[in-house]
Chain A
Amino acid sequence: MTLRWKFLLVGGLIFIVLAAAIYFPILRRRVKRAAKLQQQSAEQARRELTQPIAINPGDPRVKSKLFWASDTIDSMLVPVTVELPLSNDPVLRSKQVLNTLLAGPVDAELRTLPPDALLLAFYLLPDGTAIADFSEALATSIPSGIASEQLAVNSITRTLEANVPQVQRLKILIHGQEVETLAGHLDLTGTFLVNTKPAQAPVQLVPTARGEDKPATPVPAPGALTPDKSPGKLAQPEHKP
């Protein structure tokens, strides 16, 4: 091999090494960026599936009442008036107010629902029964206990009562499934009473004679209203685990 060829070979090798030294960090950055983009895409897809309904600026701005925990009285709800552009469609409107409720108040201590809980779906049947499907976080992240579970459900039903008069009853699902309790205590097998007077103006919070918030009440099955009877013999359970 001539001296000229040796120089060319060494020069070529040096060029390759230099080019690699320059290009390798760039390549590494690009790979990292691509991986990050892929991760963002997955997150973006998840958000697109679960993100709150976009507020349409064209919708009329309405003073809506959202029910969060009181900062003065333990285990009580207080209405907070928030001006929101709300749809006239009851399903969209329900999604808008519930997503605002889930987003929480300014003071995070007054939340009634876990910050990572999502409203996955909301349906309204012709008879006024609404079905709200929440992510599992509603059940797994809520502080366990009768008071906190009742407060969570009451904040949902009160908020719907105040803003969506078409909703008369509410059934709560967790990740598309019916569950026995919210977090071990509160009964989710039935529906909760929301509005007793359908399609009227938003209803104010009605204190009970005991001075507490009116609790969300399970609704009787249609056609089951007859005079009460004295206790009789127990029937067998229909579904015993």
Chain B
Amino acid sequence: MLSFAVEVRRALEQQGFQVVQTRQGNENPSFDDRSATANAQRGAVFVTLHISSTGLPGTARVYVNSDLAPIADSNGLLPWDRAQAPFLGLSRTFGDFVQGFLAQRFKGSPETAQTASVRQLRTTAAPAIAVEISSVTVDDRADLDRMAPGVADAIARGAAAFRPVYVVPRTPGAVL
């Protein structure tokens, strides 16, 4: 997975984005730790990468979080456990951009982003997507490795297409 992250990082940096990775090696930060890293950035988008155990090999899917309860707190603070709620619309737009580029590259992939209750996305206060590549069941690992540049390119192009839609308050950035 880290080799995918390296490719994605390179592609995003080529598009002019600053990239922060939530892990560099085999450490295993918690969901909240990863969200904390993302939520500390301003004007960031969040991308979490996964390889599935099922699905049509050679395809890739983008997920955005399922609908969350709107924020009801009157103190103006964003509840940690539903931090994604105000960003769902932006996440969907970002996800659709990335999924569109993935569909062009990997035949059989959906045309638009899917929704799912992804734990990692729920506590992220930024436009956030999960990209899942199918699958570990490929006969040759090289088949998966060959997907990495295409996946990275689709994410970077999706982020670039999303940038004008996402009004960035300060420094643009991307979080992996």
Residues of A participating in the B interface, judged by any CB pair closer than 8 Å: 74-75, 143-148, 150, 153, 180-181, 185-187, 189-190, 192, 210, 212, 215-221, 223-238, 240-241
Contacts and interface: CB of A to CB of B under 8 A. Distances in A.
A148 B134 CA distance: 11
B119 to A, nearest CB: 4
Describe B's contact surface by its main secondary structure.
loop
B86 A228 contact: yes
B12 to A, nearest CB: 22
Nearest to B86: A231
The 10 closest A-B pairs by CB, nearest first: A220-B69, A145-B52, A143-B53, A237-B80, A235-B77, A187-B119, A228-B70, A187-B117, A226-B72, A231-B86
Contacts of A238: 80-81
Interface residues of B, number: 50
Given A215-B116, A234-B80, A146 B63 contact: yes
Contacts of B132: 145-147
Interface of B: 30-32, 39, 50-56, 59, 61, 63, 66-73, 75-81, 83, 85-87, 108, 110, 112, 114-120, 122-123, 125, 130, 132, 134-135
A232 B77 contact: yes
B6 to A, nearest CB: 22
B39 A146 contact: no
Given A145-B53, A145-B132, A147-B132, A237 B123 contact: yes
Given A225-B69, A226-B72, A147 B86 contact: no
Nearest to B125: A234
- Residue among B50, B114, B134 having the largest count of chain A Cβ atoms under 10 Å: B114
